[in-house]
Amino acid sequence: MTGDFNIRDNDWDLNYSHHSAHTEDLLTLAESLDLDLSPTTNPGPTRFTDNLHDTNSVIDLAFINPNNSGFRQHSLHPELRRPSDHVPLIIEVSINETHIDNSFWSISKDSEEENNFIKAITDNILTLDISNITSKENLETIIQQLASIFNEAWHSQAKKKCMTKHSKDWWNHVCTESLNRYRNTGDIEHWREFKSNIRVAKREFFDNKIHEIASSNKRPWDLMNWVKKKNLPTIESIIHEGQSCNTLPELWHALHLSYNSAKN
């Protein structure tokens, strides 16, 4: 928590001999947020006055969590204040180096690998001996064998892929092969073939998505783009007895009279 608190106090400004009535409130607020006053590596004024009758002051403060080892103190940099009368407060935050893995293992839907994966699982499940499951130990053995079947089938067919900002859900192995072919030859015909394969892949992908939405999950709103500005619905004013009904009481009155006039 940092900023210009506009409170002069001897607790943080040794050149000021008084205590402010607001200091206790500020420290109580900071304590409620588990924050302590941050020490300064190079104490000095944080605000330079342009009035010859005033003195420079310390009114810009920083409060930090004492349990956070990322930063402990801050420093003042009056040389960076430029035309401002306030001094920048700079806190160095130590960040540990972290490796983010953007790769994952996957089996593409409707691919040859998916067929091989399913076949390997079904063939090996048929070989399991389940005729003697008479104890908990035998059942656990069968479960371990089943887990091994899935694990081996997955690792034999899954391919490692990398996620990038250019990744496309509709991209398939045909697109990859035609792109590599064009890169190897530079032939314009191979480029046209690549673009044609892209159109086919997109059409098949989105046709499947539309079919899934229409037949499986039945969520037609998934086809809508919810981030665009929505147009107001087209409406027509209701006229009753020659008068427009523009308010809820007027609409209710028109409905009431229309219903009663026809109920018999």
pLDDT in tens, the chain (264 residues): 999 999 999 999 988 999 999 999 999 999 998 899 998 999 999 999 988 888 999 999 999 988 876 677 899 999 998 889 999 999 887 777 777 777 888 888 778 899 999 999 999 999 998 888 889 999 999 999 999 999 999 999 998 877 766 678 788 888 889 999 999 998 999 999 999 999 999 999 888 888 887 777 777 666 666 545 556 555 567 888 888 888 888 888 888 888 766 555
Of residues 209, 235, 231, the one with CA closest to residue 222? 209
Per CATH, the number for 1-96 is 3.60.10.10
Q: Which H/E stretch holds residue 119?
A: helix 112-125
pTM of the model: 0.39
| Radius of gyration of the chain, Cα coordinates, nearest whole angstrom | 36
Longest dimension (CA), the chain: 99
DSSP reduced 3-state for 228: coil
Give domain limits for the chain.
Answer: 1-96, 103-161, 168-228
Alpha helices in 212-232 (DSSP H): none
Q: Report the DSSP pairing between strands 2-4 and 159-162.
A: unpaired
Distance separating alpha carbons of residues 209 and 207, to the nearest angstrom: 5
Look at the alpha carbons of 125, 129, 132, 134 in this order and tell me if their dihedral is positive or negative.
negative
